[in-house]
Amino acid sequence: MMLFYWVMVILISLSMVAFIYRLIIGPSVPDRVVALDSLGVALIAMIGLISILADTSFFLDIILLLAILAFIGTVAFSKFLEKGEIIQRDNDLS
Amino acid sequence: MTMILANILIGVTVSLGVIFILVTAIGLIRLPDIYCRTHAASKSATLGVMFILLGVFLHFWLIEGIVNTRIILGIVFLFITGPVGGHVIGRSAYLSGVKMWDQSVKDELAPVIAERKKLDEQK
């Protein structure tokens, strides 16, 4: 069963290499953001498998943390691409 | 006996998830433009990581005897935010002017955006 989990970890690493390839050659900026988002998702899967391999449940907080961080990063970057700023200035004040 | 059944269940779920993540990688490399790539990345990667986290939850539940609710929370959170992230990045790619694939046949968002621009100029 351990060998099975190691094979799964290696397959996920191969797909991470594919994501990094897209991150490097991606012709536009949103391509790279999509690749980074998928990289975060693959990292979450890998942490799940590694916490099985290391036989501990202390790493499982990291899953939720990485999910939240990847989502916030994607939304912030797409808002920057769309409007040119991330946190908009208030109209009433100034 | 129960252990073997549990191991088979976990093995099937984890390998399904890994297959979905590999499909995401192949799609991200081979598909022609950004919209097809978000189509591959948002759905398939989300389903794959949900399957893998389900396998991890089943492992800790059936073999170690720990019910870990944080994994369930992670599955629900990924199910909500994965497609939303794909939508948001596709929309920002369209609005920042990334070109579609040269063989795509239909662009239903372009007249809507032209109309909105016209309304903005009238104000």
Give the chain B residue whose CA is nearest to the CA of A12: B18
Q: State the complex-level ipTM.
A: 0.87
pLDDT at B91 over 70: yes
pLDDT at A92 over 80: no
**B75/A contact by beta carbon, under 8 A:** no
pLDDT bracket for residue B115 (50, 70, 90):
confident
pLDDT at A93 over 70: no
Tens digits of per-residue pLDDT, B50-69? 999 999 999 999 988 888 88
First to last CA, chain B: 73
- The CA distance from A12 to B34, in Å, is 22
| Model confidence, pTM | 0.88
Instruction: Tell me what pLDDT residue B22 has.
Output: 92
| Cβ within 8 Å of residue B115, ≥6 positions away | none
**8 Å CB contact between A81 and A30:** yes
Q: Kindly list the residues from chain B whose CB atom is less than 8 angstroms away from the CB atom of residue A8.
A: 14-15, 18
**8 Å CB contact between B48 and B19:** yes
Tens digits of per-residue pLDDT, A17-45? 999 998 998 788 889 999 999 999 999 99
Query: Which A positions 60-89 lie with beta carbon below 8 A of chain B?
Result: 60-61, 63-64, 67-68, 70-71, 74-75, 77-79, 81-82
Q: Kindly list the residues from chain A whose CB atom is less than 8 angstroms away from the CB atom of residue B45.
A: 37-38, 41-42
Summary mean pLDDT of chain A: 88
What secondary structure does DSSP assign to chain A, as a single string? -HHHHHHHHHHHHHHHHHHHHHHHH-SSHHHHHHHHHHHHHHHHHHHHHHHHHTT-STTHHHHHHHHHHHHHHHHHHHHHHHHS-SSPPPSS--
**A50/B contact by beta carbon, under 8 A:** no
